[in-house]
Amino acid sequence: MALSASFMIRHLCKGDRVLVQKQTEIESGEIAVVGIEGEDDTLMRVKKSNNSDVVLYPDNTKCGPMLVQEGNARIYGKVVQVMFTPM
């Protein structure tokens, strides 16, 4: 996956690439490609809450966590490798 905009994960920039392992379940704290109903797909750390909702945590300190109801978020895969674009 090539990044086309600034993302919520620190140190990732436009043009960097991430290798994503396709899977729908991930462990809390892992970075995933997440689809949110009505929004663009994003990369964020994922934590599942006790009531099955999903909390998305950005590493970007300018943004806060997002609480997404279970049916409105779809996990596409887990980020397993980052390939930075040379400057």
DSSP state of 85: P
Q: In angstroms, rounded to a whole number, what is the distance separating the alpha carbons of residues 17 and 86? A: 11
Q: Tell me which residue of 24, 63, 71, 69 sits closest to 49, measured CA to CA.
A: 69
Is the pTM value of this prediction over 0.85?
no
Instruction: Please tell me the predicted confidence (pLDDT) of residue 83.
Output: 87
A 10 A CB-CB count for 72 gives: 13
Q: Tell me: the pLDDT tens digits for 32-73?
A: 999 988 888 888 899 988 787 889 988 777 778 889 887 898
Instruction: Please tell me the predicted confidence (pLDDT) of residue 20.
Output: 94
Q: In angstroms, rounded to a whole number, what is the distance separating the alpha carbons of residues 87 and 84? A: 9
Domain regions of the chain by residue span = 23-79
Map tokens 């980052």 to a residue.
82
Q: Tell me: the pLDDT tens digits for 10-35?
A: 677 778 888 999 999 999 999 999 99
Fold of 23-79: Umud Fragment, subunit A (2.10.109)
